[in-house]
Chains A and B, each alone.
Chain A
Amino acid sequence: MSSKNMTIHLKIWRQKCCSEKGRMENYTLTTVSPDMSFLEMLDLLNQELIVKGEEPVVFDHDCREGICGACSLMINGEPHGPEMLTTSCQLHMRKFKDGDTIVVEPFRAKAFPVIRDLACDRSAFDKIIASGGFISVNTGSGAEANATLVKQESAELAMDAAACIGCGACVAACSNASAMLFVAAKVSHLGLLPQGDPEASKRVYNMVKRMDELGFGNCSNEGECEAACPKGIKISNIARMNRKFLLSSLTSAPEEGGGKQEWN
């Protein structure tokens, strides 16, 4: 642990709301500890702004241990910043140098409109899940848990995909703002398990359709999503989803699923 304070220059996106224009603002902090997390550095900035009577920078955050998926910062042009496999909240200032200038923006995508400053609306992800990202089993109707054996390998692959935290870094990283990695992770997680197999076709069809409706672009095949994913979700999930989607469109015309419901 080092304790020498650093000076950090910040260029931060400030935007009142979705319908107003945003702009970059410059700030300088002189007492940044290398042991601070990136969000603690923003806390420090906000404390200074509040005491001065200015409005603090709004950003989404919650668990601060890399699992809730709330934090969503573009740091120097990269979702969650320069560290691989790391969310913004787990990025530490020791990864930057004294005197660095850091550019901080919100995740940008048509389907993720900015709410204020660095916070954006990612409810489109929930809408995709509502269209089919589940196994239709009512409470109480689960069979004895060991009645269906699951290959350890399948369980592990499903877990790899299920580790997605729904942060949206994949969308922010993609030149087409595609949500393919997010959708593919859920399609893989559920489709790899025998419990999720019966409605696998319907699931992939409905989720992909909903994703398109919500304004996400198509896969750019550039692999930026995989590189940006803080949980290491593999792009091979997209290939798996495409196979399933093709099969689903060739073999049947799935009924219209749910997922139409909007909420406030």
Chain B
Amino acid sequence: MFKLDAKIPEGPIQEKWDRYRFQLKLVNPANKRKYSVIVIGTGLAGASASASLAELGYNVQTFCISDSPRRAHSIAAQGGINAAKNYPNDGDSVWRLFYDTVKGGDYRSREANVYRLAQVSNNIIDQCVAQGVPFARDYGGTLANRSFGGAQVSRTFYARGQTGQQLLLGAYQAMMRQVGMGKVQLFTRREMLNLVVIDGRARGVVIRNLVTGELEHYVADAVILASGGYSTVYYLSTNAMNSNCSGIWRAHKKGAGLANPCFTQIHPTCIPMSSDHQSKLTLMSESLRNDGRVWVPKRAGDNRPPAEIPEEERDYYLERIYPSFGNLVPRDVASRNAKLQCDAGKGVGATKRAVYLDFASAIARDGADSIRKKYGNLFEMYERITDEDPYKAPMRIYPAVHYTMGGLWVDYNLMSTIPGLFVLGEANFSDHGANRLGASALMQGLGDGYFVIPYTIGNYLAELPLATVANGRPESKHPAFMAANKEVQEEINRIISVKGKRSVSDLHRELGKIMWEKVGMARNEKGLKEALTEIPRLREEFRRNSKVPGRADDLNPEMEKALRMNDYLDLGELMARDALGRLESCGGHFREESQTAESEAKRDDEKHCNVAVWEHKGEGALPERHVEELKFENVQLSQRSYK
């Protein structure tokens, strides 16, 4: 049973981080080389942490599942990164970025963490520019900004529609510089399958070498998990095919609390699914909503092509319902409204599960060239996938699972409930509450890696007696490593011996359908309870009837999928349980039982102004729900309104 202490520093919110940094213990520069740190994942958070810690002098061992660390899924983020620079002179400030993020998260994030994030946001931009990130610039040579959902100021920095790629390459290059200098040891095509805890502290990992199938042991003084989110529980999502939840789930099984797993973000502007063969969904940047207008026909069942529907028979429903934010309402609001329109029979396209995103007004106003300059690559991507030209006909879009706000619980130091296990980026839960604003994921990943963990991990390491670190480091044959290895080996043996009839992908797709229908955009007690009986049934089917060809001790992509599938089933079940326990609607978590007369999400701050933190109690046992109460001392709780 763990104790939840968020370790939020005393003092006014503006001073907390400064004061705390002064209080944190430092590791003498000459001693830093005596410590080693394991980093799992090479996305924005993992790569930036690896580079920054190596620069400080720590020995870093970094692992990624891909053939190259540059492939991490941060690479696919399109729109931009927020910062409170206030370059456009439009009223932005650290306070406003903090406020917008807390409000956008529907008051379910931790104030102190969010304020710190807003504070370091400007340092991130400085750092990235210094690294050579080719951000968009104005004619005078200064940095350009654009606006994004959930904000009324322009604070988003961008590199065409490839901001994530450019930021990741910056962090990757900084990390590769340290690889060249020998301070980061890089291990590619490796997947973490177990966490090793010795004397109550995270001391290493068991890793599967994806090329040879061998299990390998790595020892360190601290472990950083930056393995990303868990949207692939839904099978179809905008995440990469290899993105998975195994890192966090396996740490959870070893004692790391998992916070708010039901908080998932459904992104409003994705290319709709076309048929059952589909392997993933593709997102179109939210920045499109700056110039695109969302509409459906006013009449349900109107099957005319969009060009034949006259202006007065179109419903620009976001502009109508939310006149002050219009098409730029936050993601959860935009997604839910698309669902409501389609549920009312006004959906468009062959499947009727889509709405239009129309650029005709913007093209008439600014010219096609101007639109091409802003969104050219997105328009091309849309055309490549759908075979339709968005310059001529409106895009069809529909929401898709995109990001998970939930994740491993961390304190202000980004340390989980297991001492020595730190969690960064999407893998943790702390900053986005129940809904993440656009262009904030990149900010958080880099903020955690560049500007938070280098301070807080030093404090942890400085408190470890040096003797246990330099001399007494456990060997990789330590009984705890051998036991962790055995657990994984037994699981692998079980999987290979089933020899059933169904492929893992087939079973995963079935899980995805349960999750999307019952733990998706709108949730209710009945559906959640059904999910809680259907998922265990599917787990039985997986254990009895899955088929993994090939050998265990060999390169075997089907084995990789099967090992992840176990975790998807467990996490999916916990997500349903968490959603059932949260009787309010907030952000991306919409409980049909809790809505206003106008079908907006209705929070219950009396009962649910908190973080639900789940403790694993062993296989087959019910997990225990703990609660961290959230205190809002600087932002007044109010029903969000974007009208």
Query: Which residues on A are within 8 Å of B, measured CB to CB?
Result: 1, 3, 33, 35-37, 39-40, 43-44, 47, 49-51, 53-56, 58, 60-70, 85-86, 90, 92, 94, 115-116, 119, 121-123, 125-126, 129-146, 148-152, 155-156, 158-159, 162-163, 165-166, 189-190, 193, 195-196, 257-261, 263-264
Contacts and interface: CB of A to CB of B under 8 A. Distances in A.
B143 A146 contact: yes
B76 A63 contact: yes
B506 A47 contact: yes
Contacts of B547: 50-51, 53
B139 A130 contact: no
Contacts of A133: 173, 176
Interface in B109-151: 122-123, 125-132, 134-143
Given A1-B350, A146-B143, A259-B180, A39 B549 contact: no
B37 to A, nearest CB: 15
29 contacts: A1-B274, A40-B279, A43-B505, A47-B503, A50-B549, A51-B547, A56-B549, A58-B555, A61-B241, A62-B71, A62-B242, A63-B241, A64-B241, A65-B381, A67-B76, A90-B381, A90-B384, A90-B385, A92-B384, A121-B67, A130-B179, A134-B173, A135-B131, A135-B173, A136-B177, A143-B126, A151-B141, A193-B132, A257-B180
Nearest to B276: A33
Nearest to A17: B555
Closest 6 CB pairs of A and B: A149-B141, A258-B180, A142-B130, A134-B173, A130-B180, A142-B126
The CB with the most chain A CB atoms within 10 A, among B140, B241, B242, B274, is that of: B241
Given A1-B350, A62-B242, 14 more contacts: A1-B387, A3-B275, A51-B501, A51-B503, A55-B550, A62-B240, A92-B387, A123-B67, A126-B179, A129-B173, A140-B127, A142-B123, A162-B134, A190-B132
B122 to A, nearest CB: 8
A122 B68 contact: yes
Interface string B532-559: 0000000000000001011000010110
Contacts of B283: 65
B75 interface: yes
A97 to B, nearest CB: 15
Contacts of A85: 380
B130 A135 contact: yes
Interface stretch (B26-34, B184-192, B429-437): B184-192
A50 B143 contact: no
Contacts of B140: 149
A33 to B, nearest CB: 6
B557 A162 contact: no
Given A126-B68, A149-B141, A152-B137, A56 B557 contact: yes
A259 B179 CA distance: 8
Interface string B268-283: 0000001101111011
A64 B240 contact: yes
Contacts, number: 235
The CB with the most chain A CB atoms within 10 A, among B48, B135, B188, B549, is that of: B549
Contacts of A122: 67-68
Contacts of B142: 146, 149
Interface stretch (B162-170, B300-308, B564-572): B162-170
A150 B137 contact: yes
B186 A1 contact: no
A149 B144 CA distance: 12
Nearest to A48: B503
A54 to B, nearest CB: 7
A132 B176 CA distance: 9
Contact of A158 (B122, B132, B139, B387): B132
Contacts of A141: 130
A141 B85 CA distance: 17
B179 A263 contact: yes
A119 to B, nearest CB: 8
Given A1-B274, A134-B173, A155-B135, A145 B143 contact: yes
A66 B503 CA distance: 26
A233 to B, nearest CB: 13
The CB with the most chain A CB atoms within 10 A, among B85, B134, B173, is that of: B134
Interface of B: 48, 51-52, 55, 66-71, 73, 75-76, 85, 87, 122-123, 125-132, 134-143, 159-160, 162, 165-166, 169, 172-174, 176-177, 179-182, 185-188, 211, 240-242, 274-275, 277-280, 282-283, 350, 380-381, 384-387, 450-451, 454, 501, 503, 505-506, 547, 549-550, 555, 557-558
A63 B240 contact: yes
Contacts of B549: 49-50, 53-56
A152 B186 contact: no
Given A55-B550, A146-B87, A126 B186 contact: yes
Contacts of A47: 503, 505-506
Contacts of B174: 134, 137, 139
Contacts of A90: 381, 384-385
B55 A138 contact: yes
A134 to B, nearest CB: 4
A139 B136 contact: no
Nearest to B183: A261
A142 B127 contact: yes
A62 B70 contact: no
A92 B386 CA distance: 10
Contacts of B278: 40
Contacts of A60: 67
Contacts of B137: 150-152, 155
Contacts of A142: 123, 126-131
Contacts of B274: 1, 35
A1 to B, nearest CB: 6
A199 to B, nearest CB: 11
Contacts of B280: 64-65
A52 B454 CA distance: 51
A258 B177 contact: yes
A159 B159 contact: yes
A153 B166 CA distance: 17
Nearest to A63: B240
Contact of B180 (A55, A156, A260): A260
Contacts of B186: 126, 263
A207 to B, nearest CB: 11
B185 A166 contact: no
The CB with the most chain A CB atoms within 10 A, among B69, B126, B180, B188, is that of: B180
